[in-house]
Amino acid sequence: MSDEEPEPGDEPSVAGADPFAASDAVVVAADPESVFAFLDDPANHAAITPGLTDVRDVEPLANGGKRLSYTYRMAGIGIDGEIVQTVHEPPERHAFELRGRLTGTIDLRLDPVDGGTKLTYAATYDLPENALTRVGAPVIRRFNERQLRAALENVAAELDAGG
């Protein structure tokens, strides 16, 4: 694992023209504190994120976030990497930097709304060249959008059920 600490205030962003960017939102029937706490547990990400098959070597960071290793399966390819939490702002925001063969950012924003919390998930990815050459940008974009939507729906289902 890297010894680098994330820079305070790193601001992940999602460029609209990036074929490997996706963003979506869902209203979760739980308060922002509960949603934040659920998302603060790396084991829950493995449970809600399609393709995330392993989360390990979790280390706390000075900013309150975590650094961990993961395995993600995409298009039949297992990709190992590291996630470093760059922003940990209870109960409003989690932001992460992905390192390794799959690089990018994930930005989770929580806003209180009537009936619960609006959870917005925005992500950008730089994918390994072999995955790109096999399936192409349009397929990867649709895959990312489906995966992101499924993760949001899984969070809502977990918390709507009182989990």
**Residue 30 belongs to some domain of the structure:** yes
**Residue 88 belongs to some domain of the structure:** yes
**Residue 15 belongs to some domain of the structure:** no
- On the question of pLDDT at 116 being above 60, the answer is yes
Q: What is the pLDDT of residue 130?
A: 60
Domain extent for 116: 21-160
pLDDT in tens, 19-45: 578 999 999 999 999 999 999 999 999
The mean of the pLDDT values for the chain is: 84
**Residue 14 belongs to some domain of the structure:** no
pLDDT in tens, 117-139: 999 999 998 866 665 555 666 77
Q: What is the pLDDT of residue 146?
A: 87
**Residue 13 belongs to some domain of the structure:** no
Closest residue by Cα to residue 74 from 5, 146, 152 = 146
Give the whole-angstrom CA distance, residue 62 versus residue 137: 37
Give the whole-angstrom CA distance, residue 152 versus residue 63: 25
119 neighbors 26 (Cβ within 8 angstroms): yes
- 48 vs 17, higher pLDDT: 48
74 neighbors 100 (Cβ within 8 angstroms): no
pLDDT in tens, 50-107: 889 999 999 999 999 999 999 988 778 888 999 999 999 999 999 999 999 889 999 9
* Residues contacting residue 129 through CB under 8 Å, at least 6 positions apart: none
Domain total in the chain: 1
CATH no. for residue 85? 3.30.530.20
The pTM of this model reads 0.77
| Mean predicted confidence (pLDDT) in 4-13 | 43
**Residue 9 belongs to some domain of the structure:** no
